[in-house]
Amino acid sequence: MEAPLSPRESGKFIAENSKDVFIEEEGVKKVAEMLYAERGCEVFTAQGWKQMNPLAPVCMSDDAVNWVFVVDTLNFSFWSDKDDEQCLVTYKDKTYSGYMSLCAAISRAMDEGIPITEASYFANMALDDLKHVLRSDNNVPMPMIKERHQALTEAGKVLLEHDGSFLKFIRKGGNSAEKMIKLIVETIPSYRDEATFEGKKVAFYKRAQILVADFWGILEARGEASIPDIGYLTMFADYRVPQALVYLGALRYSSELMKTLKEGVILASGDRQEVEIRGCSIWCVERIREQLWDIAEQREGCKLEHVNSAVIDFYLWPYAKEHHVEMAHIPIHHTRSIYY
């Protein structure tokens, strides 16, 4: 069976053949300049992962590694059918929605003594047990609960083959991001984020890449050996960062696609327009990174190689959250999927 293109190769191929999503080079340069001005920010470091996971246990504990694996395995499809009906989870007197509601629910379960980060538990947990762990404060449940249950129990059974240890499992990938991604997607079905586009098999691996990036962040925070080829990672193709890229003028949607999204049409996973949005977002961030490195080399004689595509995503995702009001006129594409 033909192996899919890597996420980076997929982004380039999709961008070269896209009919409804386009990369705007002037916008790319604008975003690169914006990032260059912010180049000293902590978000442009591996420690930026903590900003994305403020509820995670302290990095120095093994709980942090296990917590990350569980959260990343369940990290998909948080958008609500109605904006005013969101799944809400309160933890330590603060109420969270979206991705953060998942983080809050897992941390709440740990405080309640539920061994949710132990593979021996979650590999065999009942659906009702997961419903309890992910329970909301209102009558809006977390979406796709059956799919989350399947993803978590499947992943748990894989860890049980490695003494229930995520560390033992991921170390089979050596010290290579590329090999870790391959290990994850070949071993755990819910991470196999692939599609067919123009007759070619393409891959995005959004959640697998986040899992490796989070693991990298923990290693860096602990001062342990890093991952030399971490630059293999691309941005994490979802639905919020593309909105930010359109808002910043680096991506452009065709009038037809814009009309479709404004009408609230849900795009199927693997639909051409959905694939174009995700693939072009990957390649757009690659172009931004290249421009950023060029700017730094011209002005400072160095390439800012620590600012890779993953940490650019670490910047853009919270940027989109913080500027959601200003971006409200740009529709987010919606796809009910286990991949993002």
Residues constituting the chain: 340
* SS3 category, 70: helix
Please state, as a whole number, how many other Cβ atoms lie within 10 Å of the Cβ of residue 244.
24
The catalytic residue among 72, 193, 214, 238 is 238
CA neighbor of 281 nearest in space, from 15, 99, 26, 27 = 15
**DSSP-derived secondary structure for 96-140:** E-THHHHHHHHHHHHHTT--TT-HHHHTS--HHHHHHHT--SSS-
**Known catalytic membership, residue 229:** no
Please state, as a whole number, how many other Cβ atoms lie within 10 Å of the Cβ of residue 84.
6
Whole-number CA gyration radius for the chain? 19
Angle at 49 between CA 45 and CA 51, to 5 degrees: 100
**Residues in CB range of 185: below 8 A, 6 or more apart:** 191, 192, 193, 203, 205, 208
Residue numbers annotated as active site: 238
